[in-house]
Amino acid sequence: MKIKVLGCSGAELPGFGLPSFLLDDSILIDAGTTTAAIGEGAQKKIGHIIITHSHFDHIRGIPTLADNMFLRDPGHSITLVGTKAVLQVIRKNLLNNIVWPDFTRKPNLKKPALKLKVIKTGKPFRILDYRITAERTDHTVPAAGYIIENSKGKKLLYTGDTGPTDRIWKRADMRSGKTAIDGAIIEVTFPNRMKAAAERTGHLTPALLLSELKKLRNFPKKLYITHIKPQYITTVTKELQKLKIKNLKILEKDRTYVI
């Protein structure tokens, strides 16, 4: 599995992009940074966008990507994948013909620029050759993480935004069986001194990450950190290094990781 990081920060500043990951050139996972990060050719290869939750920093690329596809190739459809609660919020508040055109009906109902695929947590579904399972996380709005398995048995876990939680770790153990998840992309947003703010807003600190990881039966083979607020990047990086977790990497924008 090839994961290109288009953005992996919890706020936007020059050099720091909002979360968005391109899986094997074809599936976009969250859409914080999209159309400013890859060209039209790469954008056209995206067939699906998997969304964790409706917060702006994870959905901003949806309308601009739909617009580009509509302009260049009106027959091209991209499928937006998420739970009912998440997709409803996006339609009602973003693609509502006020903030942005409703590309789920444009250019026409039969071949819209954006198709919607509603998925249920805990119920595996297929996209291309991947078997994907969503599971609820604990955030301030309905949110889900995803476990994505390719045909060769490689498994990727992405939490999206979450505070301390249980279900996603249980689901990851269930999906991975006796082996471990090959790659886990987990959020850490705030430094340890902001534990209260992290818990209130449904996020993790390095110390909270450590206690969450202990809930997993098998430690992920590779652990990637996303969603750090650039304002706290120095402190959070030091605190993560102090944990001395083997195979932990802080994701970097515009880099590609292979699991």
What residues line the site for Zn ion (CB under 5 A)? 55, 57, 161
Which residue lies nearer to Zn ion by CB, 55 or 155?
55
The least CB distance from residue 123 to Zn ion, in Å, is 23
Which residue lies nearer to Zn ion by CB, 150 or 231?
231
Which residue lies nearer to Zn ion by CB, 112 or 191?
191
Per-residue DSSP letters for 69-130?
HHHH-TT--EEEEE-HHHHHHHHHHTSSSSSS--TTSSS-SSS-SEEEEE--TT--EEETTE
What secondary structure, in 3-state letters, does 207-252 show?
HHHHHHHCCCCCCCCEEEEECECHHHHHHHHHHHHHCCCCCEEECC
3-state secondary structure at position 61 = helix
Which residue lies nearer to Zn ion by CB, 69 or 81?
81
The least CB distance from residue 161 to Zn ion, in Å, is 4
The least CB distance from residue 190 to Zn ion, in Å, is 12
Q: What are phi and psi of 68, to 5 degrees?
A: -60, -45
The least CB distance from residue 144 to Zn ion, in Å, is 12
